[in-house]
Every structure is written in structure tokens, then in C-alpha cells.
A and B are shown apart, each in its own frame.
Chain A
Amino acid sequence: MEPLIQARGLSLRYGRKTALADLSFDVPKGRVVGLLGHNGAGKTSLMKALVGLHDVEGELSVLGLQPRRQRVELLQSLAYIPDVAVLPRWARVSQLIELMTGLHPRFSAERARSLLRRTSVGLGDQVKHLSKGMVVQVHLALVAAVDARLMILDEPTLGLDVISRKAFYEMLLDEWCDGERSVLISTHQVEEIETLLSDVLMLNEGKLVLSLSLEDIDRRFVALAHDPAAADAVAAAHPLLRYRAPGMAGGAAALFDGAPSAAVLALGQRLRPSLVDLFVALTRQPEINRTSGP
């Protein structure tokens, strides 16, 4: 089965600035892929490239199509939310459903209405009278009503409160993830999205620093909670990151790429490698890298 997204040597340049440098990755079906990175790391550039809004170098195929050249055809098979606050403010929800019906061949008005029933939004409500959280839910209901195999969400929960974020993820998991479809969701709020993901693409300054499934991450990286007394011994094993872990045995912890020696492992308790810590370790700004030492 061909992956839904295939990228080889993908690069994106604006004049002299390089937004994406030589990315290679696959997104298979049935996955929830987190595109993680700090602001400016290239997440939005990548997503725009995936939907054909940018010229790119290298190979990129989405749902078997060339995004730039077959943009309209591709968008007919995609569910895409480019940003949270972009629904036309003058429109009523029922009007948006009418417009989507006419513009999106794979959109189902009935499905959209049934998804909207989960929310507290009425069909006659105007977008400009809805709260941020409700606007996002409406947008998600509209795109989830598109019969697509791939959903691309660019920081969909930005600026939302916890309850709205939770409702968003709930709707996404309940109504979209069926094992055949995939979601690519970008965020810099790594912590709360960790448990939803099956795979991770981590971007740092336009480069892909990690492209792994969560299962493989659990196998490859090792987190160790230890006593502060053992700090030097742990540091000598060259961890990727050392950090405080309040509440863990000892209160200090370290993250290793690959298992350290048995001697070091014996110094503490093995933990599940947290995506947040991995993210910090792999995307630290150069200045921090220099001062924090090996």
C-alpha cells in the first residue's frame, strides 16, 4: 500500500531564506502524525507545500498527486484546515454548508450536520458571533465531513482553552480516525498531543531531526530518573538531555539516544521517554547547545 504522503529531498526556499532543507519522509495510512517544531521551524511551510501553495524542489507526492501542479484535484481529496480563525465571519453555518456542498465534491452536508450536533453550535449561527473554540469545532466538522483519506491540520488548537482543545481532539478521534485515514497535525504544544500520536515528524530550523513512530521512539530512547548524587556518572554517559523530574525517584533525569551501559541504568529507574523532553533535546536553540555543555 503506497504511503499517503511521500517526500524525498524536499526543499523550499524563499529568495535567500531556506524554509525547508532536504526533507525525506513517508506518511502511511491509518496514522496520527504530529508535526512538531518551534515557531518558524518550517511547519506551516511544509503544510503549504503539501497542499500545493508553494513551489518546491525535490520530490513530493500527496495521495499520488503532485501538489503544485494538481492543486485543485488534490484539495478535492483532502480535508485541510490552514489556520483556526479563517472562516468567513459574515457567513452563517448553514451557508458554509451550502458553499462546501457546491465547492467540494466529496463533502457530505448530512455528515456535517450530524457532526455539528455534537457541538453547541446552531445552523443559523453567524461565525462572527461564535467563540474561538466554537469556530474551530465548526471548521473541523466541515472538513471532517469531506470523504478524504488524509486530513491536514495546521496548529488547529492555537489560542484555545483546555476544554475546547479536549473537545477538538475528542471529535477528531471519534469521527475521523478509523485505521484507513491519516491525520497530519502540526503543533508546538507537544505535551498534550503526545498520547494521540502514532508517529512524529520533528522539525528544527527547516531540517527534519526526527521521523519515527512512537513505538520506535519508546524502543530507541531511554529516560532514566536518578538521584542527584549520581549526576556525574550519568553525565559521563553523554545523554541528549539532562533535566529535573520532580516527583520521580531522585528528582533528576536524563534522556539517552540508545540504551546506556548496564552500570548507568542501575543508577536509576527507567522511565518512558517523554516526547516533550525529546523535543527539547533535539530542537534546542544553538545558543543553548553551546552553553549547556556535553
Chain B
Amino acid sequence: MVYYISNTLADRQGPTMQTWDPHLPIYQQLADRLAAQLLDGELTEGEAMPSVRALAGRYLLNPLTVNRALQALGDDGLLETRRGMGFYVRPGALAQLRDAERHRFLGHEWPMLRTRLRRLGLSATDLNWE
């Protein structure tokens, strides 16, 4: 599964009757947000994920939806269930996710960006890396 790690402000804010993108299933979008938190270090490897109930309350989603998102992350190897005690972040998940995201960027987004840069006549030295 491919994760869309968004950087827009709306995704960073806490839930205030969030609006979810109508193009994608909601469980997918929740998985995306949780993956983003992993990449940003807000979720630590080896530690337990917040409970389904807590996530449901935080994002105002049905627990079944939350479950589906967590299952999806588990199917992709980012989370694991331990001793029937809920979901934990798998050690190595961060590296795995970063790898996958890099792959996607380099394979999909970068070629498009590169074409655009060429069209505009910009080179690496023209870009601000801060």
C-alpha cells in the first residue's frame, strides 16, 4: 500500500470535525496520517499504538474504521499485534516506511518534478534547501 504523506497544515492540526478527502476511503486516509506520524518520530518503534478507542475518540471515527486502518498498517508490516494486546510499532518500521516513501518519491514524484524544473530552466543550485 502506498502512503500519501501530506505536509499540508490541515493534516497537522488536531481534529476539529475533520473533513476527509472524498477521493479516498477514510481508513486509508487515517493510515496515511498515522504513517506520517511515524515518519515524523511522533510514534516510536517498539511502543504501543494508542488504543482503537482512543484513536476513534481523537479522530471522531467509528472504531471499525480505525481497526481497518490499523489492520492495513499491520498488513504492510509497519505494525504488529503482540500477545493479543493491540497494535505495536514494529521495530524497523520507520526504516521500512522511509524506504518505501523514498522509492515512491524517486520513482514517481521526482521524475515529474525534474521535468518541470527543466522546463523552467532551474538547476539544483537555484533551489533553496533550507
Q: Name A's B-contacting residues (CB within 8 A).
A: 32, 162, 165-166, 169-171, 173-174, 177-179, 192, 195-198, 214, 218, 223, 245, 248, 269, 271-272, 274
Contact = CB atoms under 8 A, between A and B. Distances in A.
Given A162-B17, A174-B56, A174-B57, A32 B62 contact: yes
Candidate in A179, A271, A272 with the most chain B CB atoms within 10 angstroms: A272
A271 B20 CA distance: 12
Contacts of B57: 169-171, 173-174
Interface of B: 15-18, 20, 22-26, 53-54, 56-65
**Dominant SS at the B interface?**
loop
Nearest to B65: A195
Nearest to B60: A169
A195 B57 CA distance: 11
A271 B16 CA distance: 23
A196 B53 CA distance: 12
Contacts, number: 59
20 contacts: A32-B62, A162-B16, A166-B17, A169-B57, A170-B58, A173-B56, A173-B60, A173-B63, A174-B53, A177-B53, A178-B53, A179-B63, A195-B18, A195-B20, A196-B60, A197-B62, A198-B62, A198-B64, A245-B22, A272-B26
A170 B16 CA distance: 11
Nearest to A249: B23
A53 B18 CA distance: 37
Contact of A170 (B60, B63, B65): B60
Contacts of B22: 223, 245, 248, 271-272, 274
